[in-house]
Chain A
Amino acid sequence: MAIQSIDDQGNLTWRCPHWPEEADTVCGAQHQHHIGHEAIKWHGHPGSKPEHQTVSLPPCSGCGAQTFLKVHYTEKELRAPNMWLAWTFERAQMLQVLQAAYQQAEEGSSQKMMLAQQMAELEAIRNAGGLHTESHAMALRHRELARQLKAAGKHPLGEEEQQ
């Protein structure tokens, strides 16, 4: 959610990720905007570093919430567990446990199918030596938004006067 796509012309599509506590599910309202929209801009404390600032999306027409995107990521942040699925000793052990359970499971049972799916997910991580997640892809889209904003003359707070 949040930014689903951004093209070279600055058109972006996004889904509202807001989930009010009283609601049964996430808002999920679908939106399309251009980076020239007046509400798409930088936010931060006066004097804050550009890397601490966020970029706002227009208020959601579905729930009224406003979403602020993290657009600067360190390499360490991009290696967080929700960004990068590393092939670890624990995952290798888990794969062995699943493989043993798979051998024991009744042929054609739903349990065997579920185990096969879990094994396939772990084997994909092992075979690739680690996998990037959807959060990582979203972080890259947010970075791209920041790049296009700067190219279009929308600069982080405190950097305007340097341009």
Chain B
Amino acid sequence: MALPAVSGNTIFASDLYQLCRPSGSQETGHYWLGGPVYTNGALISLYMPSQSRAATPVSASIDTADSAPAGGMNSAPTTFNLTVGGFQISTTSTTGPNTNAHCGGNYTIQY
């Protein structure tokens, strides 16, 4: 179903669907976590906003398929602070000083 929009573009039902995920659905995408590490154990962190703004997530999964931890990042990051707005990806498993500790991959939020 397509709905007319004021701007002349079209809003599809699938667009609205992304704002409120039904039970059992997933939201997927890529993340990239990187930054300079000034000392051992320094924190690198990012906040990954979700497209959904109404459904409560039950889990977040991440891999490092795009880039394994490197450049002073010693292991895969972890996630927490999982809410209707998104979640945090971070690690303190770092060795410094290093200018470009990083990793990247896919994420899946389950609703």
Enumerate chain A interface residues (CB-CB to B < 8 A): 1-2, 16-21, 26, 43-46, 48, 52-54, 56, 59-60, 63-70, 73, 77-78, 80-83, 133-136, 138-139, 142
Contact = CB atoms under 8 A, between A and B. Distances in A.
Given A20-B63, A82-B20, A52 B55 contact: no
Contacts of A53: 80
Contacts of B81: 44-45, 48, 52, 54
B61 A18 contact: yes
Contact of A18 (B23, B54, B82, B106): B106
Contact of B56 (A2, A43, A46, A80): A80
B59 A70 contact: yes
Given A19-B26, A44-B81, A48-B80, A68 B106 contact: no
11 contacts: A17-B108, A18-B108, A21-B106, A43-B79, A45-B45, A54-B81, A65-B62, A68-B60, A69-B59, A81-B22, A82-B25
B98 interface: no
B48 interface: no
B51 interface: no
Most chain B C-beta atoms within 10 Å of own C-beta, residue among A18, A43, A56, A136? A18
Which 4 A-B residue pairs are closest in the complex by CB-CB distance? A133-B23, A18-B61, A82-B55, A65-B63
A77 B79 contact: no
Nearest to B111: A82
B76 interface: yes
Contacts of B64: 64
B58 A69 contact: yes
A161 to B, nearest CB: 18
Given A45-B45, A70-B60, A138-B58, 17 more contacts: A1-B110, A17-B61, A17-B108, A18-B108, A20-B28, A20-B65, A43-B78, A52-B80, A64-B63, A68-B78, A70-B59, A80-B56, A81-B22, A81-B55, A133-B23, A134-B24, A135-B24
